[in-house]
Amino acid sequence: MSTSRRGAFIVIEGLDRSGKSTQADVMLDRLNASGISAKLMKFPDRTTAIGQMINAYLQSKADLDDHVIHLLFAANRWELASTITQTLESGTHVLCDRYSFSGIAFSASKSALKHKEAIPTPSSSDIPYTNPNLSYIWCRDPERGLPAPDLTLFLDISPEAASARGGYGEERYEKAEMQARVREVFGQIGNEMLSHNQNEDRSEPTKDGAQPRWVVIDAGNDKTTVSKDMWAHVEPLIAGVDSPIGRLWYSDDN
């Protein structure tokens, strides 16, 4: 790889039990087996002091206000943002299991969604909202300016198919109703990102600074098919990236 090229920042997103962690491991092995330098990161990173607070919340050992836990998840990314940037600049690819999109989707799912018409799955609209203050925009704001992924692979699976994979665990958000709502917000994020996919020149930030590459992968398929589908989007990036690292939802004028 030429020294002027940086690593690619690849995020894997999706509901619980969509296969993110499995697929991230498969991809890391594949890259490393080809002698390509790649680092796997995961959010929440439960090893830091902030991560331990998040862990206690998720395991219901601590109760926190919905705004507070949202900001802790975002802070957990900000405390590792320089590690991401430095790793990419050293020429190593970063694979990331969950990122800002989970941060928005899980918190905003506690609130009513403003743009209902943009949401593809109205299935859980009868579920009461627990916190009307966590608007989509409020949830997105603390993520603004974080290193932007070059590619986000959204592993899409219905909550029904996900729970058929052995059920959810014991953690706070691992409930079918919440997962259905989270999928709706992921749909809204996907629409927002896909609307930028028209912009072919990815070296230029889009109007609101979002990096547009968002790809939906059918995660209901078998493991090998999913890996293959994901790889088709990753392969063009493994020679490295020429453009500077973008910033999420960021532009100079706001």
Binding site for ligand FDM (CB under 6 A): 16, 43-44, 58, 73, 98, 102-103, 106, 173
Measured from the CB atom, the residue of 87 and 102 that comes closer to Mg ion is 102
Q: Could you say which of ligand FDM, Mg ion, none residue 249 binds, taking C-beta under 5 to 8 angstroms by partner kind? A: none
Residue given tokens 């690292």 in the structure block: 245
Measured from the CB atom, the residue of 13 and 16 that comes closer to Mg ion is 16
Q: Could you say which of Mg ion, ligand FDM, none residue 44 binds, taking C-beta under 5 to 8 angstroms by partner kind? A: ligand FDM
- Please give the torsion angle defined by the CA atoms of residues 109, 114, 209 and 227, in that order, rounded to the nearest 10 degrees: 40
Q: Could you say which of Mg ion, ligand FDM, none residue 106 binds, taking C-beta under 5 to 8 angstroms by partner kind? A: ligand FDM
Measured from the CB atom, the residue of 72 and 112 that comes closer to ligand FDM is 72
Phi, psi dihedral angles at 23 (to 5 degrees): -70, -35
Measured from the CB atom, the residue of 155 and 238 that comes closer to Mg ion is 155
State which of positions 211-250 bind Mg ion (CB under 5 A).
none
Q: Could you say which of Mg ion, ligand FDM, none residue 58 binds, taking C-beta under 5 to 8 angstroms by partner kind? A: ligand FDM
Assess contact for 245 and 88: CB atoms under 8 A. yes
Strand partners, 46: none
CA distance 109 to 102: 10
Residue 25 parent element (H or E): helix 20-33
Residue 102 C-beta: closest distance to ligand FDM, Å: 4
Q: Could you say which of ligand FDM, Mg ion, none residue 101 binds, taking C-beta under 5 to 8 angstroms by partner kind? A: none
CA distance 53 to 112: 26
Residue given tokens 């690593």 in the structure block: 7
Residue 45 C-beta: closest distance to Mg ion, Å: 14
CA distance 9 to 150: 5
Measured from the CB atom, the residue of 103 and 159 that comes closer to ligand FDM is 103
Residue 232 C-beta: closest distance to Mg ion, Å: 27
Residue 223 C-beta: closest distance to ligand FDM, Å: 18
Q: Could you say which of Mg ion, ligand FDM, none residue 43 binds, taking C-beta under 5 to 8 angstroms by partner kind? A: ligand FDM
Tell me the residue number closest to Mg ion, measured at CB: 16
In a 3-state reduction of DSSP, which class is residue 63? coil
Residues 6+ apart with CB under 8 A from 47: none
Nearest residue to 31 via CA among 245, 238, 194: 238
- Cα angle 42, 214, 172; round to 5: 40
Measured from the CB atom, the residue of 60 and 197 that comes closer to ligand FDM is 60
Residue 151 parent element (H or E): strand 151-156
Q: Interacting stretch for Mg ion, rule CB under 5 A, among 8-16, 26-34, 49-57, 99-107? A: 8-16
Q: Which residues contribute to the site for Mg ion (CB under 5 A)?
A: 16
